[in-house]
Amino acid sequence: MSKPKLATVWLEACAGCHMSFLDIDERIVELLDKVEVTATPITDFKEIPQVDIGVIDGAIGNEEELHIAKELRKKAKIIVAWGDCAVFGGINTMRNFMPASEVLEGGYIHTASTVNPDGVIPKGEVPALLPKAIPADNVVKVDVYVPGCPPDADTILYVFQELLEGRMPKIPSDMMRYD
Amino acid sequence: MKEIILNFDGKECKGILGDTILEVAQKNDVYIPTLCYLKGLSPIGACRMCVVEVEKNPKLLTSCTTPAVDGMVVHTKSEKLNKYRKQILELLFAGRNHFCMYCSQSGDCELQRLAIEHGMDSVRYPYLYAPFENDATHPDLMMDHNRCVLCLRCIRVCAEKVGAHTLDLQKRGWAATVCADLGQKLGESSTCVSCGACAQVCPTGTITIRELAYRGRRKDCDDIVESVCPLCSVGCKIKAYVRTGSIARVEGTGTESPDGGQLCHMGRWWLPESTERDRVAVPMIREGAHFREASWDEALSLIAEKLGPAAKQGKAGALVSSLCTDEELSIFSAFYRDALKLEIDTFDGDILRGFVKGFEPFRVQGVRPFTGAHNILESDLVVNLCADPQDEAPVVASYVRVAVLRNNAKLIFAGDSTDPFDGLTDVSVRLDGTCKRTEFLKSLTACLVSLAESKVELNGLTAMDSYAKALEEFAEVGKISLETAEEIVKLIASAEKPVFVLGKGLAKNSEVVAAAGDLAIAARAFFADGLGLVPLLSSGNSLGAVNTCVADQPWLRTKELDFLYVYSTGMIPEDEDSLAAISRSGFSVIQTPYLVRPLVNLADVLLPAPAWFERSGHFCTIEGERRRLNVIVPPQANLKGLSSVFDAIAKDLGIRVERPETAPCEEFFVSKVSPELAKMAAL
């Protein structure tokens, strides 16, 4: 029997959750014996293959992220939401208190470090912002939630181990964190 | 008290008729999750986390507000309850902007703890992302409405315990926010006393103490030590949170105690700050305009060398702080008073002498001349005589406000200055000299005495005449109308349990204190523990100082001194008179934990002392309790205990000092006779 396949995507978030995943340290070797890692932010896959486990790290904030989340949902049997951004929206939701246009103006024109005398805001070259940054489960069905900013390495490993054993994990209270 | 028996999840639990379901559960260690409930505050059933199932009742009941009934069968844990509780938590998270990753209370937050406990791994409801304000107008507190769960603990503690009624709720539904006064910002409030009780009870990161963002959360702390606040005579019990060798935060001990677990701005902010102040680290000896470091041996030999001749001529003395513990004061007393036959006094000696002498006529009768400050809460009439409790002992001010606003007690003010409870007071008399002279109190007492006599039928009519005369005299003395005079007399005469709060201004004349005692007797101000007087003495262990160190007569200002030993705790600024006396003295030894100026500038020898949090011992408080001060942080190196300091000096002087027995301060003012039997001092 071939090894189950895993894909992870990095949407609107910092790299913290993936860093925390790498913090499982040498245990990753053992994990790789049991699972085949396909598309990840560091393997640069252009297409997400059919996988058993698809991990979403990050909130959904623009058209591209929305597309990727939906693609992953189509390709993956089980979707895991990693981290506060994917689960609750996280720090990205700070922009939800203003219209998306204001966010772009802030980012491309008004920021102190920006030189943009013509006030150009890119259109087409970068994906359009959604009106609000939202948790992953607002656009796709999520099977396993792993809150935490970031979740502990042990928690991430626990989720994989449970999934590989064929169980659908619920994060126990002693592992759950929101910060 | 009728005992009732309930069944919680199959366990038989005993309670008392009148308990709520939650109270019975807590008495029996049955856990029910709560959020808006806080022991000591009136339960409001707002958050509905504490819902339980009661058999034969189709609805879920909030256990914090539902009275327990004998025979109730209660289920506290079930799939259904968990579902509802989790739903409530998800709604709270979706309704406001709770983001743990950038909240200073993450880890201390009760909302977070409950959500984790209930396995809230996602929120099924769309977030509202409604913009709420972060009110940062107060210099010490922050109020971030984004994190509010509308539990109203802050509003309740402010009203029920502090009596300030600063906080209230404005708007409705999800838009509701806690506001100060009538919709003002917290920093603009005219009623806020900055006690920080709201921040202590806030379950989330809504009301926070700014400093704690860097001092650390409760969960970051290594230890919690119970001790006593030394800063005023109330001696509030405190919980000090220790983090890496310093006090990160100080909190009151619990809303269920009479003081409601409150502290004032001094305890809340000054105590933790005191761990960061500049310390006197080593003994230092003055050389010209400078100090040089010295060893303890050298410093103590020099002290002995100067003290010896000065003591022989009777030109030496000691001035100590009444923030010292009973044990420390006893050491001073044993060395200076008993062994060297020298004078000793405290910084607040004049105030204490005034009270002690005024109380003497009652003390000798075996009557305890005062009552625990918290008994103000039991009183139906508070008479404020020359006191500004918010300044002198802020928690007493809370008692007065709560007595008036919640318990409907009446409030009378008489004093020289403006009425500190203006707006709450029923009758206010402001008259120059009221606090220094006895006429006002004596004429008021005379009114009460003759009024009482007029009720005895035999001499009713003649007594009525003398009452009328007394009333006229009282009105004249007080420069008030006859109606006001009569109102005051009637308020006092009709009160069941009046209490008299005595400001320290009163103590300038001990006869006024005695007159206040007579007034209390005439007003039948009798409490179980003593006469209904609450003297606002100045510091943590003023009562203990009365017992050990306070001189019978003032001497410091008049005596020419060649040697003065000063022990300051550095927590209260020294008064000008004391500083003047220190600078006049020929040779001053100053022992203090902190580099307090100008005090340390006056030293010839400067000795380090342990700070309040490095000492242990006992305080006698005006709450009527002997309370223990505990070592919160171990003393710094190079500190010497007081007894070894004085042993070394005594050895150099070639004298013997008896080991002092710590005189328990409460024995000085012990209640041997019921206050109802007290006789007036003037009789």
Segment A102-120 mean pLDDT: 92
Residue of B93, B101, B133 best to disrupt the A interface, most CBs of A under 10 A = B101
> What is the model's pLDDT at position B133?
93
Q: What is the DSSP letter of B120?
A: -
- How far apart are the CA of A145 and the nearest CA of chain B, in angstroms? 6
Q: Return the pLDDT at B304.
A: 95
Contact across the interface for B99 and A93, Cβ inside 8 Å: yes
In angstroms, the CA B69 to CA B71 distance is 6
DSSP H helix total and E strand total for chain B: 20, 29
Helix (H) or strand (E) holding B144: strand B141-144
pLDDT at B458: 62
Q: Report pLDDT for B460.
A: 55
Tens digits of per-residue pLDDT, B609-654? 999 999 999 999 888 888 999 999 999 878 998 989 999 999 999 9
Task: Give the nearest chain A residue to B105 (CA atoms).
Answer: A179
Q: Taking all residues of chain A, what is their mean pLDDT, rounded to a whole number?
A: 94
Please classify residue B286 by burial: count the beta carbons closer than 10 Å to its beta carbon, then call 0-12 exposed, 13-18 middle and 19+ buried.
middle
The verdict on A55 touching B (C-beta cutoff 8 Å) is no
Question: How many whole angstroms separate alpha carbon A139 and alpha carbon A85?
Answer: 14
Whether B100 sits inside 8 A of A89 (CB atoms) is no
Contact list, B129 vs chain A (CB under 8 Å): 93, 96-97, 132
pLDDT of residue B663: 66
Asked whether B35 and B101 are in contact (CB, 8 A), the reply is no
The residue behind tokens 């010839």 is B604
Q: What is the DSSP letter of B507?
A: G
Taking contacts as CB-CB distances below 8 angstroms, the residues of chain B near A171 are 119, 121
All residues of chain A having their beta carbon less than 8 Å from the beta carbon of residue B103 are 179
- Helix B296-312 × helix B642-653 angle, to 10°: 60
Per the DSSP assignment, residues forming a β-bridge with B90 are none
Cross-chain Cβ contact A81/B102 below 8 Å: no
The encoded tokens of residue B366 equal 């075996």
ipTM field: 0.94
Partners of residue B116 in chain A, C-beta under 8 Å: 173, 176-178
Strand duo B316-320 + B343-346: pairing: parallel
What mean pLDDT comes out for the span A157-173?
96
**Chain A touched by B93 (CB under 8 Å):** yes
Task: Tell me which H or E stretch contains B239.
Answer: strand B237-243
A135 CB within 8 Å of a chain B CB:
yes
The HSE-up count of residue A63 (CA atoms within 13 Å, CB side) is: 7
- CB of B625 within 8 A of CB of B606? no
- Distance between B97 CA and the closest CA of chain A, angstroms: 9
Closest B-chain CA to A87: B122
Pairwise CA distance, residues B180 & B178, whole Å:
7
Question: Which residues of chain A does B99 touch, with a Cβ-Cβ cutoff of 8 Å?
Answer: 84, 88, 90-91, 93
Host H or E run for residue B302 = helix B296-312
Q: Can you give the pLDDT at residue B550?
A: 84
pLDDT 10s digits, B434-443: 888 999 999 9
Calculate how close chain B gets to A151, using CA atoms only, in Å.
Answer: 11
pLDDT in tens, B326-381: 999 999 999 998 899 999 999 999 999 999 999 999 999 999 999 999 999 999 99
DSSP, residue by residue, B307-366: HHHHHHTT-EEEEE-TTS-HHHHHHHIIIIIIIS--EEEETTHHHHHHHHHHHHHHHTTT
Using the Cβ of A176 and the Cβ atoms of chain B, whether some distance falls under 8 Å is answered with yes
- Least CB–CB distance from B112: residue in A96, A142, A178: A178
SS3 string, A25-77, reads: CCHHHHHHHHCEECCCCCCCCCCCCCEEEEEEECEEEEHHHHHHHHHHHHHEE
Average of pLDDT values for A90-115? 93
Q: Which residue has the tokens 């806020």?
A: B192
Report how far Cα B456 is from the mean position of its chain's Cα atoms: 42
**How close A118 comes to chain B (CA, Å)?**
31
B99 touches chain A (CB under 8 A): yes
Closest partner CB to B121 (pick from A96, A97, A176): A176
Positions in chain B short of pLDDT 70: 457-463, 662-664, 683
